[in-house]
Amino acid sequence: MAAPPYPKIENLYASLSGGEARAIGVLKSPARTGLIARWLCTEKIDGTNIRVSLEPEGLDARGSAVGDSWEKIRLAGPWVVRFYGRTDKAQTPDFIQEYLEATFALDKLKQLWQGRRSCTRCDGAGREDSGQPAILSQLAEPFPYACDCVEPYPITLYGEAYGAGIHGGGDYRRDGGISFRLFDVLVGEKHWLTWENVVGVA
């Protein structure tokens, strides 16, 4: 399934008397979280959860293959960008949808595709300087200067749309606009990027 919902994140600390209050310093699941030596904490944005999905067009609204095998659809393309909320049934307001469509163009997301690490022409970056005139490169598929070793694969960006008109997010931006805060990336439907790579995508 393309763009799977983001996994539920359990609270780090145990609750006090089964309520909302937390016992800071008392781990809820010490066998699982107690072994983690280094933590990364980021700011919680008060917005609405968004999934941005680069996926084959031959998928239905739930991200399931329609009438053909997933592998055949993946290789055949064409590729599209779709937007989902936290759940598959979530409705995205029109003004957020318009912002997402303007921000996450198909050509931009295709540039996230990487090549094979063993490729001697692009060293796995997926791009090479072809030396051809710019107009020919702009017509190239899947994106300008794409190396032949690039094979398309699904990419899901997980983030928060925030700003004016989204919960209490009007305080985040003085210009009254909205933005998107990326917090995780899933590639090929099975590999989560490291935080450093997520920052690179952002």
Mean pLDDT over 127-142 rounds to 52
Distance of CA 99 to the CA centre of its chain: 16
Q: Which residues does 30 contact at the CB level (< 8 Å), separation at least 6?
A: none
The pLDDT tens digits of the residues spanning 72-102 come to 555 556 889 999 999 988 999 999 999 999 9
How far, in Å, CA of 33 to CA of 156, rounded? 26
User: Regarding the domain with residue range 42-113+152-201, which homologous superfamily does it belong to in the CATH classification?
Assistant: DNA ligase/mRNA capping enzyme (3.30.470.30)
**Predicted local distance difference test score (pLDDT) of residue 141:** 52
Q: Which residue has the higher pLDDT, 164 or 115?
A: 164
State the pTM of this model: 0.78
Spans of all domains in the chain: 42-113+152-201, 114-150
Residue with tokens 């009254």: 176
Residue with tokens 């300087």: 129
